[in-house]
Structure 1
Amino acid sequence: MQSTGPTTLNASEQLHVAAAAAAAPSVFNTQPWTFTFTGRGLEVRTDPDDASMPTASAARDVRLSCGAAVFNARTALARLGLASRVSVLPVAGDPLLVARVDVTGDAPDPALDELYRWVGSRRTNRYPFRPERIPAEVLALLHDAARREGATLRLLDGEPEYQRMLTSIRRATWTEDESVRDDRDARLSPGTGQPAIPAGNLGPVPRREFPDDPPVRDMAEGLGIPGRGSAAFEPRPELAVLETAHDDPRSWVTAGQALQRLLLEATGHGIAASFANQPLEDDGLRPEVSGGAAHYGCPQMVLRMGYATAQPPASPRRPLSEVVRTVRG
């Protein structure tokens, strides 16, 4: 369709888009973004006040999180009947500006409108998954979702690659820097405010029933947070690595958009997901994630996927008044 020029969003539409963007997943639920609406659309920036995790992957994780928010904004605009155009890192002199999402006068992508349906029900699921495998045709759809955003979803379904990944995940967990663990513990402690991830979103404490530790990250190991219980986790989860051709800030934003697209696609097919990024948080271990298939690209996320036994509640979100810094007509 011929473009008819940009469309200005009214206040209600701006809040609709901001709410969708803010529902994106983020590293440790830090929600490291702010949104500014202009006459042309939306600007997504990293929040200079957010305290990212003290890991080697912190800068990458923040921009990846913002990329997921960008994709959600695109789906919300499509639901409003509006197409959009994304410019990643558009201003070299503005390091906080991650992307600009400009509204155009073109017809929206109906696939984005369809994916908007799942924005509110997508969860990071840290509960056990059922033993049945994800059908090949659904995995193909998830692979295609990543590809459409410029990334690759590499499924780990063969040996010795699969066991190599499990070993890397466990090794990274055992050797985690004490400062990282202390930081995470502080974020999970109730203190005077709400913890970053409440007990209902942490999932149960993994029960050890095999010689090796379960291939699931316990974000609150040893904290004794009440209300969690314990459970046996699947010994062989579906694992996949999201990769990009390059490894720079622009690629991290690309990975975030690809991640959110495939997560929304997965949600629509009843597939739950959580993350096993421990090896990516350590520069010394990150090469192990792609060592067996370096030709694919640079690893950005490690996903655990399957059919969940329980649906966690929605993770708490910052008030929109905190993340929408200015609303301009």
Structure 2
Amino acid sequence: MQSLLRTPLDLPGQAAVAAAAAAAPSVFNTQPWSFSVSPAGLDVYADPGRASLPTASAERDVHLSCGAAVLNARAALARLGHGTRVSVLPDAGDPLLVARITVTDEAPDQVLGRLYGWVHLRRTNRYPFAPEPLASEVVALLRDAASREGASLRLLDREPEYQRVLSLIRAATGKEEEAVREDRAARLSPGSAPSVIPVGSLGPVPRRGGYDDPAVRDMAEGIGLPGRTCADFEPRPDLAVLETPGDDPASWVAAGQSLQRLLLTAAEHAVAASFANQPLEDADLRDAVSASAAHYGHPQMVLRIGYPLTQPPASPRRPLSEALRRDGD
């Protein structure tokens, strides 16, 4: 990587930046990335072999996950006092190279530097939330966070759009292919090495009531896991759709960066989120999510947002040494 700085990144800094990138959220905690770190910065590579069984959203999900890792790395570099320059998909001959983050002597992003404090504390929260809606000033902060990275956050705060998207979430849950369920069961079952999401991070089993089923996604639906309890979830969670103007790999990386900036902003303001992306994993249902919002863009994530009642444990991360690329990789 060509350096644009006079003060290179030292070894402790390199370790901190790589660890921050590896702490990013990823679809089903598959961590589909690898990193090459040097005094000049960090390269983020896609590792699609780690992704879950292919769905219509598989390629997009990998790029979104890598985009979240890019944002975390930028936050770590800002905390260390470095400016950054990011090139997305910089090498047409290497489609797995998602982004190159080069350290510069420009002024660091002070907001990202502050948000770094939440990189290792943020959790995907699959537990019930408090019934109160988000405060309008918090919604404004989350929208601003998304827009700073080129996406828009559309809160589903009106009818009939809220119920329409909620019905798509429920419909997608019923349409999930058996092979996808089996793949997830194999990754979650006791004895898997290691379980990608521990029981404590899965949250309780939502009590279902037919038409009134909650919007929360049970990642272990139909899998009998010891230690899980049942719970009632908030009857009307805040739902939002993260959208981008384009719908290509560069747009997916932007969506991942937008997602992570808004998730860190949410954590800073004691707000939690989980994901209800079922309809985005089906091509037809994804079109239906965006049908009434063509002027906003393409849906990349569906989020359930609220004030948490429980702080779940962190999902495990593979050893950082396994995520670092060696010479010749």
TM-score, length-normalised on structure 1? 0.96
Q: How much has 1:208 moved relative to structure 2? A: 2.5
Indicate yes or no: 2:250 matched with 1:250: yes
Query: Which residue matches 1:325?
Result: 325
Query: Which residue matches 2:155?
Result: 155
Contact 1:43 1:100 (C-alpha < 8 Å) held by counterparts: yes
* Off by >3 Å, runs of 4+ in structure 1: none
Query: Which residue matches 1:189?
Result: 189
Query: Which residue matches 2:227?
Result: 227
**Mapped partners of 1:35, 1:4: distance in 2:** 20
Residue-by-residue CA offset, 1:149-182 (whole Å, 9 max, x unaligned): 0000001000000000000000000111111111
Change (3 A) 1:189 1:69: same
Query: Which residue matches 2:276?
Result: 276
**Mapped partners of 1:210, 1:258: distance in 2:** 34
**What is the percent sequence identity of the aligned residues?**
68
Specify the SS of the correspondent of 2:145. helix
Contact 2:10 2:39 (C-alpha < 8 Å) held by counterparts: no
Alignment of 1:196-215 (within 5 A): 196-209=196-209, 211-215=211-215
> Which moves more between the two structures, 174-183 or 236-245?
174-183
**Mapped partners of 1:171, 1:143: distance in 2:** 27
Change (3 A) 1:259 1:6: farther
Change (3 A) 1:149 1:319: same
**Mapped partners of 1:290, 1:320: distance in 2:** 37
Query: Which residue matches 1:8?
Result: 8
Contact 2:190 2:225 (C-alpha < 8 Å) held by counterparts: no
Specify the SS of the correspondent of 2:252. helix
**Mapped partners of 1:233, 1:206: distance in 2:** 7
Q: How much has 1:205 moved relative to structure 2? A: 0.3
Query: Which residue matches 1:261?
Result: 261
Specify the SS of the correspondent of 1:325. coil
Specify the SS of the correspondent of 1:295. coil
**Mapped partners of 1:156, 1:111: distance in 2:** 27
Q: How much has 1:183 moved relative to structure 2? A: 0.9
Contact 1:52 1:62 (C-alpha < 8 Å) held by counterparts: no
**Mapped partners of 1:324, 1:277: distance in 2:** 29
Change (3 A) 1:48 1:287: closer
Change (3 A) 1:22 1:282: same
Alignment of 1:1-329 (within 5 A): 5-209=5-209, 211-326=211-326
> Which moves more between the two structures, 294-303 or 31-40?
31-40
Q: Which amino acid aligns with 1:245?
A: P
Specify the SS of the correspondent of 2:284. coil
Residue-by-residue CA offset, 1:258-292 (whole Å, 9 max, x unaligned): 00000000000000000000000001110111111
Contact 1:54 1:183 (C-alpha < 8 Å) held by counterparts: no
Q: How much has 1:210 moved relative to structure 2? A: 6.6
More relative contact order, 1 or 2 (CA 8 Å, 6+ apart): 1
Specify the SS of the correspondent of 1:285. helix
Q: How much has 1:222 moved relative to structure 2? A: 1.7
Gaps of 5+ in 2: none
Specify the SS of the correspondent of 1:102. strand
Contact 1:7 1:40 (C-alpha < 8 Å) held by counterparts: no
Contact 2:205 2:229 (C-alpha < 8 Å) held by counterparts: yes
**Mapped partners of 1:192, 1:315: distance in 2:** 15
Q: How much has 1:216 moved relative to structure 2? A: 1.4
Q: Which amino acid aligns with 1:85?
A: R
**Mapped partners of 1:153, 1:177: distance in 2:** 29
**Mapped partners of 2:53, 2:123: distance in 1:** 21
**Mapped partners of 1:84, 1:134: distance in 2:** 33
Specify the SS of the correspondent of 2:118. coil
Residue-by-residue CA offset, 1:7-42 (whole Å, 9 max, x unaligned): 322221111001111110000000011110134211
Q: How much has 1:194 moved relative to structure 2? A: 1.6
Specify the SS of the correspondent of 2:139. helix
**Mapped partners of 1:177, 1:190: distance in 2:** 22
Contact 2:142 2:266 (C-alpha < 8 Å) held by counterparts: yes
**Mapped partners of 1:261, 1:289: distance in 2:** 23
Contact 2:48 2:62 (C-alpha < 8 Å) held by counterparts: no
Residue-by-residue CA offset, 1:89-119 (whole Å, 9 max, x unaligned): 0000001100000000111011111110111
- RMSD (Å), alpha carbons: 1.6
TM-score, length-normalised on structure 2? 0.96
